Amino acid sequence: MDADLKELLDNFKSYNPAQDTILIEKAYNFAKAAHEGQKRLTGEPFFIHAVAVAKIMLEHKLDVDTISAALLHDVVEDTPATVAEIEKNFNKDIAAMVAGLTKIDKLENTSADEETAENWRKMLIAVSHDMRIILIKLADRMHNMKTLDALPPPRQKEKALETLTLYAPLAQRLGMFSIKNELEDLSFKYLHPQEHKIVEDGVKRLEKDLDNKLAAFTKVLGGVLDKDQIPHKLLARVKNNFSIYRKMKKQNSGFDQIQDLLGVRIITDNKLDCYRALGALHANFKPVAGSFTDYIAMPKMNMYQSIHTTVFFEGALVEVQIRTEEMHRTCEYGIAAHWRYKLGSKADPHLDEKLNWIRQWIEWQRDLTAPREFLESFQTDINLSQIFVFTPKGDVKVLPERATPLDFAYLVHTEIGEHYSGALVNGKMVKMNSELKSGDICEIQTKKNAEPKAQWLEAAKTARARSKIKTYLRAKGVEF
């Protein structure tokens, strides 16, 4: 067997030993034969690219279909092979993923700003039925960014800009943080070569110092947590180049003025211990005012959960993130965790819900009229495009901005949506189409004989509510 193929299979078996891998093997041989003789701009055989993309997907522990589709992702675009052929030789899911990726490639080849944005919207909507397509696309872009030297400089800048403004935020939305960081660092190098060199050299120069400081901090912190008998694992790192650069720009300062180059993660076993760890941390290290954010009580839409705080340590600042093992896994794998858990027995009951949120966010983009508005919504901080609304019992529901009480009702339960008769927001009656705000307490009133009407579609902003209403109207034969 081919050494590369063996490596792929061994890697897959390391996290999923029981699964049959025949499809991966077939995909490998099919793609290798199809790309035979083709070369990349780097001069290497083209097939190396397909294998590299599959390897990135393996790092995120994806399923057989995704690994196979990663190997096959360019065969329809770049060889005579067809989607029908892939469906015949493999399966429907793999064929649909390859078809989706081919479609993206076609849309991608434009550069005007408005068009790019519009294409992106189209692309996301077109492939949102299977997020694995987007994951493969991110891996594809990552490998292309790693081999960007082969392109002429103006094309390098163009690709890097697109990666920084579209692909990295997309990875962040999907909770794929390691891919996001790597895409940012790779883009940074081509977009701002001089600044990149300053940061890279600076980090290299301080490497020893920074490592010593991290070691000293984790030693003291470990002792503090031991004393309070808080179970923990500590992960320490120097921040990535792009986030250092971003800080420099934000503070309008040079590399030498940046104090918070260090990051430490405390991984503990449950939510309560996260807060105990926070208590121990703040009792022993002075926190920086205003640096504390609790994404455990208020999780982000991209599934991110952690407590963030920054503390002083020997004249430096250390950003500390506190999370449980489970939150950490979700942070590491993002939505990829969905397919991983599906394979095993320990399914995360919240993951489907979280995934629906991303789908819904993508669907939400349908309502934005101008491509530029879409682009803005895409690039703004994830926190800005979602709101937290409470049920009268205090449960928190996450909705996109501009969502209405009707959306809220459908989110709580389809039955409640379908029998909607009114809503109280913070104790006051409001219209069905009024916009909810973060922190609102929303109480839905229902009536037995209330039912969805065509006008409800004007008040419903979320994909979930809209599709439920349409299904109901269709069943009743109502025109809309």
Q: Could you tell me the smallest distance in angstroms from the CB atom of residue 101 to Mn ion? A: 8
Closer residue to Mn ion in complex, CB, 25/74: 74
Does 2 participate in catalysis according to the annotation? no
Q: Could you tell me the smallest distance in angstroms from the CB atom of residue 40 to Mn ion? A: 10
Rounded-to-integer distance, Cα 151 and Cα 155, Å: 6
Residues in 195-234 at the binding interface with Mn ion, rule: CB under 5 A: none
Does 140 participate in catalysis according to the annotation? no
Is residue 98 close enough to count as binding Mn ion by CB under 5 A?
A: no
Q: Could you tell me the smallest distance in angstroms from the CB atom of residue 103 to Mn ion? A: 13
If you write DSSP's letter for every residue of 95-107 in order, what string do you get? HHHHHHHHHHHHH
Closer residue to Mn ion in complex, CB, 140/319: 140
Tell me which of 4, 77, 85, 294 is the catalytic residue: 77
Q: Could you tell me the smallest distance in angstroms from the CB atom of residue 73 to Mn ion? A: 6
Is residue 407 close enough to count as binding Mn ion by CB under 5 A?
A: no
Region of 67-75, 289-297, 401-409, 411-419 interacting with Mn ion (CB under 5 A)? 67-75
Is residue 185 close enough to count as binding Mn ion by CB under 5 A?
A: no
Is residue 184 close enough to count as binding Mn ion by CB under 5 A?
A: no
Count of beta carbons in the 10 Å neighbourhood of residue 437: 13
Closer residue to Mn ion in complex, CB, 49/419: 49
Is residue 182 close enough to count as binding Mn ion by CB under 5 A?
A: no
Closer residue to Mn ion in complex, CB, 140/440: 140
Contact between 28 and 2 (Cβ < 8 Å): yes
Q: Could you tell me the smallest distance in angstroms from the CB atom of residue 143 to Mn ion? A: 7
Rule CB under 5 A: choose which of 63, 65, 74, 273 binds Mn ion.
74
Closer residue to Mn ion in complex, CB, 46/420: 46
Q: Could you tell me the smallest distance in angstroms from the CB atom of residue 301 to Mn ion? A: 29
> Three-state SS string across the chain, please?
CCHHHHHHHHHHHHHCCCCCCHHHHHHHHHHHHHCCCCECCCCCECHHHHHHHHHHHHHCCCCHHHHHHHHHCCHHHHCCCCHHHHHHHCCHHHHHHHHHHHHHHHHHCCCCHHHHHHHHHHHHHHHCCCHHHHHHHHHHHHHHHHCHHHCCHHHHHHHHHHHHHHHHHHHHHCCCHHHHHHHHHHHHHHHCHHHHHHHHHHHHHHHHHHHHHHHHHHHHHHHHHHHCCCCCEEEEEECCHHHHHHHHHHHCCCHHHCCCCEEEEEEECCHHHHHHHHHHHHHHCCECCCCCEECCCCCCCCCCCCEEEEEEECCEEEEEEEEEHHHHHHHHHCCHHHHHHHHCCCCCCCHHHHHHHHHHHHHHHHHCCCHHHHHHHHHCCHHHHEEEEECCCCCEEEEECCCCHHHHHHHHCHHHHHCEEEEEECCEEECCCCCCCCCCEEEEEECCCCCCCCCHHHHCCCHHHHHHHHHHHHHHCCCC
Region of 10-18, 124-132, 137-145, 423-431 interacting with Mn ion (CB under 5 A)? 137-145
Q: Could you tell me the smallest distance in angstroms from the CB atom of residue 37 to Mn ion? A: 17
Residue 127 structure tokens: 């492939």
Count of beta carbons in the 10 Å neighbourhood of residue 374: 19
Region of 21-29, 132-140, 243-251, 307-315 interacting with Mn ion (CB under 5 A)? 132-140
Q: Could you tell me the smallest distance in angstroms from the CB atom of residue 8 to Mn ion? A: 17
Binding-site residue total for Mn ion (CB under 5 A)?
2
Tell me which of 78, 228, 260, 418 is the catalytic residue: 78
Closer residue to Mn ion in complex, CB, 63/74: 74
Is residue 118 close enough to count as binding Mn ion by CB under 5 A?
A: no
Closer residue to Mn ion in complex, CB, 50/465: 50
Rule CB under 5 A: choose which of 25, 63, 118, 140 binds Mn ion.
140
Closer residue to Mn ion in complex, CB, 140/184: 140
Q: Which residues bind Mn ion (CB under 5 A)?
A: 74, 140
Catalytic positions, written as ranges? 77-78
